[in-house]
Amino acid sequence: MFVEAVDADPTQTGALKSVAFRVLGPRGFATARSLVRLARDDWHAPYPLTHRLKAWRHGFFADTYLLYDIEHNNAADYINDFTWAYRCSRLNDSLTYFRHKLAFRSILLHAGLKQAETLALVAQGRFLLNPLSSNPCYVSANEFEELLRSDGDRFVVKPEAGNEGAGIFLLDAANGNLVRQRGAARELFRISDLPSVAIVERLIRQGPFWRALCPHTTNSLRVVTGWAQNDEQPTFIGAVQRIGTADTVPTDNWSGGGISAVVDLDRGRLGPGRVHPLKSKYPNRHYDVHPDSKAQIQGALLPHWDHVRETVIRACMTSPMHRYVGWDVVVDENGDCVIIEGNGNSGVESLQVHGGLLANPAARRFYERCGAI
C-alpha cells in the first residue's frame, strides 16, 4: 500500500505521503518515490517477476541487470538506473544548456577549441549560411540546394536540439541530385525534407586510425568528466571509443547498434569491442576485430590520446556549468581534436558494459562528493 501511495495522486494520498515524508526524510522519500517509478516503467519487461524484483532491488532495469551481469559482478561498482535517472540528471544546473548544439558550439569556438564547420542553420524555412562566422548571410532554398550539390563534399544534418544520434543523416550529391543516407539506405532528398530546426555541418575527415575502424561513419570518443566543487580540475570518470557499423551510418551510436571499446584512461589502449545485445544486429557480444572492416580493436593504441585528454580538460573548464559531461571527440586527419558536443547527463551503458564506473576510485569520489551515491 505504501509503495502505491508514494507515487499516487497527492490529492488522494496526501496524508500517507506526509507520514512517509516524516518517517523517511526528504532524501529517503525521494529515493522511495523514484524506485517506485523505476519499477512502474519496467513493469511489463519480458522477464520473470523474480528477475525483475532482483533487478529493482539493486536499482536496475531488468535488461540492464543482465547487460552488466550483476549476478556475477558487484552491483556496488555500478551506477544503477535509479542513480543515473534521478540523481545524475540533477548534477548539472541546466540540461537545456547542453541540448542546443549551436549555442554550446559557440562557447567552445570562443575558447579557441576546434569545431566541425557549421555550414548552415535552418529554421522556419530560412537558410542562414555560416551562422558562427563573422559574416553570416541568408540564402534561398534553391541557392542552398545548389550549394550542396556543387560543393562536392559530404555533410551531416542533425536536429539543432537532438541527442543520442536521433534524426542525424548524411547528405551528399550523386548524378546531380542530393542523396540522404542513414544506415545502408540511400534515397533522393529535397531541401523541403529538412527538419524544422537543423544544423548542416561539413563531415569531418577523421584521422587514418579512426577511418580504418569504419570508413563510413564518424567514430568518436565518449569521454566522461566530473568536476566537483572545490576541485581545481575535472576528473576523468571513463572513456570509450565508439565505432560505427554498416547499420549505423553515418553515426557511431552504441544504442543504435554500434560498437563500444573501453579506453584505458592512462595509456589510451582499447579493450575488446562490445555491442548491445538487444539493439545490435551482430550475433556476438565481443569483438577483437571489427565485424565489417576487420580492423583491430582489442589492444589497439589510440593515436594522440594525450592531446585528447588535454582538449577535454580545456573544454570542460570553459564554463563552470560543466559539472558532469560526456564529451564526444573526433580526431581529424591533421591530428586535431574536434569536440562534437557535450552531453549533460551522459548515458553510462556503453561504458559500464565493460565494468562498473564506481570501481574507479576517482570516479567514486566524484559521485560521492556530489551526492549522487
One domain for residues 333 and 222: yes
Residue at grid coordinates 537558410: 127
Q: Which three cell numbers stand for residue 65?
A: 541487470
- Residue at which a domain ends, from 142, 174, 202: 202
- Tracing cell 574536434 back to the chain, one arrives at 338
State residue 331's pLDDT score: 98
Q: Are residues 249 and 285 in the same domain?
A: yes
Distance in angstroms (rounded) separating the CA atoms of residues 133 and 155: 18
- Cell output for 146: 545548389
Are residues 222 and 318 located together in one domain of the fold? Answer: yes
Q: Are 270 and 240 in contact (CB under 8 A)?
A: no
Cα–Cα distance list, 128 to 137, 141, 144, 341 (Å): 6, 10, 9, 21
Looking up residue 235, the CATH number of its domain turns out to be 3.30.470.20
Residue 212 and residue 357 in one domain: yes
Q: How far apart are CA 216 and CA 249, in angstroms?
A: 6
124-145 pLDDT, tens digit each:
899 999 999 999 999 999 999 9
Among candidate residues 202, 217, 237, the one where a domain is terminated:
202
Q: What's the structural domain count of the chain?
A: 3
Q: Would you state the cell numbers that stand for residue 164, as one nine-digit string?
A: 543520442
Instruction: Select from 154, 102, 108 the least CA-distant residue to 337.
Output: 108
Q: List the grid coordinates of 286.
A: 565481443
Are 196 and 259 in the same domain?
A: no
Among 287, 105, 118, 300, smallest CA distance to 210 is for 300
pLDDT the model gives residue 356: 98
Query: Same domain, yes or no, for 186 and 239?
Result: no
Instruction: Give the rounded distance of the alpha carbon of 107 from its chain centre.
Output: 19
The reply to whether 29 and 163 lie within a common domain is no
List the grid coordinates of 263: 579506453
Q: According to the model, what pLDDT value does residue 251 have?
A: 84
Q: What is the pLDDT of residue 42?
A: 67
State the pLDDT at residue 165: 61
Nearest to 207 by CA among 296, 125, 77, 303: 303
pLDDT reported for residue 187: 94
List of the chain residues with pLDDT < 70: 1-45, 162-165
158 in the same domain as 292: no
Q: Are 219 and 244 in contact (CB under 8 A)?
A: yes
Give ∠ CA 155-289-203 in degrees, rounded to 5.
10
Among 172, 202, 232, the domain-final residue is 202
Angle at 359 between CA 280 and CA 223, to 5 degrees: 55
Q: Which three cell numbers stand for residue 202?
A: 561539413
Comparing C-alpha atoms, which of 60, 42, 58, 78 is closest to residue 351?
78
**Please, what's the largest Cα pairwise distance for the chain?**
71
Q: Do residues 317 and 177 both lie within one domain?
A: no
Structural domain for 161, as ranges: 118-202
Task: Give the per-residue pLDDT at 247.
Answer: 84
* Contact (Cβ atoms closer than 8 angstroms) between residue 170 and residue 181: yes
Identify each DSSP E strand in the chain by its residue range: 118-123, 126-129, 137-139, 155-159, 169-174, 177-182, 185-188, 197-202, 221-226, 235-243, 259-263, 270-275, 286-287, 324-331, 337-343
For residues 104 and 253, state if they share a domain.
yes
The reported pLDDT for the residue numbered 106 is 92
Identify the pLDDT of residue 11: 42
Q: Report in angstroms the alpha-carbon separations of 112 from 38, 151, 315.
A: 42, 27, 9
206 burial class (0-12, 13-18, 19+ CB within 10 angstroms)?
buried
Instruction: Examine the domain organization and report whether 255 and 357 are in the same domain.
Output: yes
pLDDT (tens digit per residue) in 179-218: 999 887 899 999 988 988 999 999 999 999 999 999 989 9
Instruction: State whether 214 and 344 are in the same domain.
Output: yes
Give the list of residues 6+ apart from residue 354 with CB closer than 8 angstroms, or none: 240, 260, 262, 271, 274
